[in-house]
Structure 1
């Protein structure tokens, strides 16, 4: 028996060597799924699974499953199709990321409400290689970041893809008073920020330290032309408001006990500058009500339930420039505009505070990067507004949802806008009809607008770079499309009206 025991391993080894020969050249896929937390905040975290193909043949399709302990739930996810049974979660590849080439990887992401991490990971019904959760990052390591693919990352510079990130608040006691230096108020907690906004005075600067500020942040004091109020911070200063609560008036106004879910809300607060920081995971990103002469400069707005930035209730003469807006309409795609100027006439009873009209006029939208995964129009210009400028922006139409006729980069229902020097692209997935459109919901609206020097790539899906809905409704004040505009991959062409040389 001793001899047999010694011989068997040799025989087995020989058999293994023999059997390996005919399969040595057979190509096959070998998938692994690796979990990573990409951001952490007090009540939850953002995470991703990376599906890597370590084999020598392409894989076609993947399914990742795991369990979360009771008390934690996946609140949102992207780049996958999610199914839930109790505490068991199943994520199937989306239509565009199921194929994984040899040596390549794809990923999907999700947010968790709660602190528990996945357990029992399965990839295509087999254990995930390295499927145990990777070590959680320390609070100081999380930082906001879009990435170069539709998955979260930890780099603080935005890119042309959606991402989810947040940094935890520094451990300064909420009761600590904000230190002040001259006209600058330094804040490092949500409580300090709320107090600073309440106490703000013309000429003051509120300076955010890096960290996450979770709460309802409302300013109701106006600056002046010579002494604007500034709220500023680095990109790693993150305003988030994921949990609206209470009930407010039918026409939104700051109300005790009501949190509307806005990332930052200026109400009757003209002459403000908002610069540099991030707005993340809120019902609406930046909302301006009756707040003219506001400049928004270099913000990063992403993972927003409805619209990213809204100039509303006659918030005229504002500027938004150098900002990045991604992944909006995560809750209601039909309301996921990147930048929203004015209000639909159906809402003028509430927001029409200038002779019954929302006159958010002369707003300039300059040099921003909007998209991908902006579910509605990248810029929606509402009827009743006039004389704005949309110039130098980059529109990435990937992920536009097409709901509620939101199927273009820019829909101009206002009058007298200059649309110049913008670059737009579209790639699947998404629903895309035209690059730019006009509509005429009220008499005289959607007229007298001008397109110059725009570069459009419609990805083989869109019909016209500029589609003008009606010329008869704009008699005497026609829309003009100049020959300096160019278009590629259009099913129709540059425009459906006569081109002006």
Structure 2
């Protein structure tokens, strides 16, 4: 029996040119059934008049308080220092976008220090966050009650705790085509790459459902799990990601690439590299933190390069469960333990 992870009062567990068009609509198919629609619908601003061009921190702060649906906050190259936030909402047909003027020279949103605050917090639906860098804060990107939002083409690094957090009911949102590394600078056990939901008793809306993590490069030096999917979350999709195990610390039970405590997660077509880090006990883990949760998850067509033959591909603990098909490990070694149904 594995030790239960604890939580704290903050909800963290303790045991070229302007963007002119954005139209995204995606349907995923798993097995014989269609998954829920996870798309970020609608178009971004279509004219120069709808773009807000900023080159100073004060301009960015003002834009985050005043942008209208359909507008793009476009940042000139440079570093913008602050704990930035917005409570504004876009719409399905007109999301609010924050992006770099020149994606080849991404603007950097820097917090004040790795021990406090966040680089960017969004508390509204239908945002597009793209082609930016986030650093030097306790948390990188924080979505609070922000559904149908898209994070794309970002780099998040040098954070005190987690890099990206889908929190407080944020659902149907996506991070894709991004790079996360060097987290947990002030708390190794809390340095997740992407954190989905909240721990039991944390005070946030735990109904954080059907979020997508796609084509994200994780590591090195992510000190906790690369992805932590909390209890009472449903339908998280993780696909086409790459995990570099260098730096996983083992602190606060951080000993896997992904830890699933929710239901109906789909983990597919990912690659994981242990890279001689024997702290990693299982590539993927499942836990029952709350009765009835941590079940009915799927692991499909993942490829694991596990340098320790004693490391398992999937470990399901207590009453958690999963089905598995098409997963491979190199070199040969342990595959599954616990309630894992291999197909």
Q: What TM-score results when the alignment is normalised by the length of structure 2?
A: 0.82
- Superposed, 1:315-330 pairs within 5 Å as 315-330=170-185
* Structure 1 portions without partners, runs of 5+: 1-179, 246-259, 353-357
In 2, are the aligned partners of 1:468 and 1:496 still within 8 Å (CA)?
yes
Describe the SS at the equivalent of 1:322: strand
Q: Counterpart in 2 of 1:443?
A: 291
More helix by share: 1
Distance 1:244 1:372, change over 3 A: closer
In 1, are the aligned partners of 2:114 and 2:159 still within 8 Å (CA)?
no
- Match status 1:389 vs 2:246: no
In 2, are the aligned partners of 1:401 and 1:430 still within 8 Å (CA)?
no
- Match status 1:239 vs 2:109: yes
Deviations 1:258-301 (A, max 9, x none): xx52000112x110000011001111100011111110001000
Distance 1:468 1:210, change over 3 A: same
Q: Counterpart in 1 of 2:324?
A: 481
* Structure 2 portions without partners, runs of 5+: 1-46
**Distance in 1 (alpha carbons) for counterparts of 2:340 and 2:190:** 32
Describe the SS at the equivalent of 1:367: strand
Q: Counterpart in 2 of 1:274?
A: 129
In 2, are the aligned partners of 1:435 and 1:462 still within 8 Å (CA)?
no
Choose the corresponding residue for 1:338, options 180, 193, 197.
193
In 2, are the aligned partners of 1:486 and 1:494 still within 8 Å (CA)?
no
Per-residue deviation, 1:493: 2.8
Which structure has the greater CA radius of gyration?
A: 1
In 2, are the aligned partners of 1:433 and 1:461 still within 8 Å (CA)?
no
**Distance in 1 (alpha carbons) for counterparts of 2:62 and 2:276:** 45
**Distance in 2 (alpha carbons) for counterparts of 1:266 and 1:295:** 11
- Superposed, 1:109-188 pairs within 5 Å as 181-188=48-55
**Distance in 2 (alpha carbons) for counterparts of 1:446 and 1:222:** 32
Per-residue deviation, 1:243: 3.3
Q: What TM-score results when the alignment is normalised by the length of structure 1?
A: 0.57
Describe the SS at the equivalent of 1:440: coil
Choose the corresponding residue for 1:361, options 183, 186, 209.
209
Per-residue deviation, 1:336: 0.1
Per-residue deviation, 1:434: 0.6
User: Once superposed, what is the RMSD of the aligned Cα atoms?
Assistant: 1.8
**Distance in 2 (alpha carbons) for counterparts of 1:396 and 1:379:** 12
Total equivalences in the alignment? 294
**Distance in 2 (alpha carbons) for counterparts of 1:364 and 1:498:** 23
**Distance in 2 (alpha carbons) for counterparts of 1:243 and 1:446:** 35
